[in-house]
Structure 1
Amino acid sequence: MKVIYEDNHILVVNKEPGEIVQGDKTGDQPLSESLKIWLKEKYSKPGNVFLGVVHRLDRPVGGLVIFAKTSKALTRLNDMLRDGKIHKTYLAVTRNIPPATSGELHHYIRSDARTNKSYASSSPKAGAKEAKLRYRHVSSSDRYHLLEIDLLTGRKHQIRVQLASMGCPIRGDLKYGDKRSNPDGSISLMSWKLDFVHPVSGEHIILKAPVPDDQLWKGLAQGL
């Protein structure tokens, strides 16, 4: 397990693209269950292990995910997430360069469960929820561009659909307009940094995940 942080109350893991955080209709074993098995073996725990899912990442996305090891931490983390007190920063590789070096995107997003896809509009629509993010252009190669993204709201597929609406679909994201898939089935989006106050101790915690170990990511990330 690629554990980035662990104490008595929380566990932060660097999820691999392709893993699911919580069980879904595929029936594949989710990361939450794998972690329960790991914790049970690591600490020789009798009976069931408690592990609460605080937030999720899309299956093709990698990076940091927070889990709660106690019910007290889960309740407080859920409240913090709802109140915008867990600050999440992502990195995305796009094929097109954004129109400005930095900016804020503001849309209204509606999700369609039937197609498992979200749709963004610039004006309010029935059933749509407000979505905001800030982006910064970090660096470019000959063909690709790295963006740093501060997520201000948490909507389904938000970063993917908002960047696509800006004309910058994420590399490998066929669902939202890229032309080619990545060889491993991932999309070039990762949950890179978490900034929050520990729900029990009150300690200020900042965590970062290592960028994927490939030439493109390593080259672009030199600008961070």
Structure 2
Amino acid sequence: MNKKIPILFEDNHLLVVEKPPNILSQGDQTRDADMLTLLKEDIKERYNKPGNVYLGLVHRLDRPVGGVMVFAKTSKSASRLSDQIRKREFEKSYMAVIHGKPSKKKDTLIHYLLKDSKTNTVSAVENGIEGAKEAILDYEVVDTIKGFSLVKINLHTGRPHQIRVQFSTIGHPLYGDQRYGPKVNNVGQQIALWSHQITCEHPTSKEKMTFTSLPEKKEPWIRFMLDTNIMYK
């Protein structure tokens, strides 16, 4: 692979990796590098496999987002993991840096999101609008430094751009998010959103497994890393 992707866990059924920021989860019309293709090539090379390699994409991360990502190495595993996601048993938590400080240290955000496929943008709309889907997340403010807050987020639904749109809607867009916070972010800034932790049931052993990844030691994350425990408060 041109870009080495850290492997967090691997067996015959699962492949858990740390997705680098700015790589697609799955190939699109841009034909840019994507996780699914890179990992298939890596498996083929490492195990000297002839023919096609099966790897199931069970969830996605937005292109600019890094962190934990789980893939299925068999169709049976993919089906069972997808079932966990459907039943909301596939637990996903994220770290994000947002502008400002929310009025509540902990809260549950519920919005109805509508995607415009032509522009690939999502907006919060009134409940009952055709095509709008319920989006739910919990957040906790971990720390606030110089006008920015580090938040830990538990995602209950996996809607496109959900975290970005929900925080923008309450007036606290993510650091670096030019799409949903163009007035407060600059072109070229890296969005501060990280897939921090995933907990799921192993598709065959049924063991509950948790996989964790920390953001890169770069802006703006570095502001909150002076205390090495800050990411876990």
Report the Cα offset of residue 52 of structure 1: 0.8
Alignment-derived partner of residue 111 in structure 2: 107
Tell me whether 1:129 sits opposite 2:130 in the alignment: no
Contact 2:93 2:195 in 1 (8 A): yes
Q: How far apart, CA to CA, are the structure 1 residues paired with 2:152 and 2:214? A: 14
Tell me whether 1:180 sits opposite 2:180 in the alignment: no
Q: How far apart, CA to CA, are the structure 2 residues paired with 1:108 and 1:215? A: 31
Q: How far apart, CA to CA, are the structure 1 residues paired with 2:50 and 2:91? A: 35
Query: How many residues align structurally?
Result: 223
Q: 1:138 aligns with which of 136, 142, 151?
A: 142
Alignment-derived partner of residue 9 in structure 1: 13
Change (3 A) 1:84 1:138: same
Task: Name the aligned partner's letter for residue 52 of structure 1.
Answer: G
Q: How far apart, CA to CA, are the structure 1 residues paired with 2:224 and 2:169? A: 23
Q: 1:117 aligns with which of 118, 121, 134?
A: 121
Alignment-derived partner of residue 200 in structure 1: 204
Q: Deviations over 1:140-180 (max 9, x none)?
A: 11131101000011111111000101111000101102422
Alignment-derived partner of residue 24 in structure 2: 20
RMSD of aligned Cα (Å): 1.4
Q: Deviations over 1:54-96 (max 9, x none)?
A: 1101111111111111111011111111111100000110111
Q: How far apart, CA to CA, are the structure 2 residues paired with 1:62 and 1:50? A: 23
Q: How far apart, CA to CA, are the structure 1 residues paired with 2:197 and 2:187? A: 23
Task: Name the aligned partner's letter for residue 68 of structure 2.
Answer: L
TM-score w.r.t. the length of structure 2 is: 0.91
Q: How far apart, CA to CA, are the structure 2 residues paired with 1:159 and 1:72? A: 30
**Structure 1 regions of 5+ residues with no counterpart?**
none
Report the Cα offset of residue 29 of structure 1: 2.5
Alignment-derived partner of residue 218 in structure 2: 214
Task: Name the aligned partner's letter for residue 80 of structure 2.
Answer: R
| 1:177 counterpart SS class | coil
Q: Deviations over 1:17-71 (max 9, x none)?
A: 1100101111112111110111111111111111110110111111111111111
Contact 1:77 1:199 in 2 (8 A): yes
User: How is 1:15-164 mapped onto 2 (pairs within 5 angstroms)?
Assistant: 15-164=19-168
Q: Deviations over 1:100-134 (max 9, x none)?
A: 00000011100001111001135332210111100
Q: How far apart, CA to CA, are the structure 2 residues paired with 1:182 and 1:101? A: 29
Structure 1 stretches of 4+ with a deviation exceeding 4 A read none
| 1:74 counterpart SS class | helix
Contact 1:92 1:146 in 2 (8 A): yes
Deviates more, 1:109-118 or 1:21-30: 21-30
Q: How far apart, CA to CA, are the structure 1 residues paired with 2:39 and 2:55? A: 8
Contact 2:88 2:156 in 1 (8 A): yes
Q: How far apart, CA to CA, are the structure 2 residues paired with 1:182 and 1:13? A: 28
Q: How far apart, CA to CA, are the structure 2 residues paired with 1:134 and 1:182? A: 29
Identity of aligned residues (%): 41
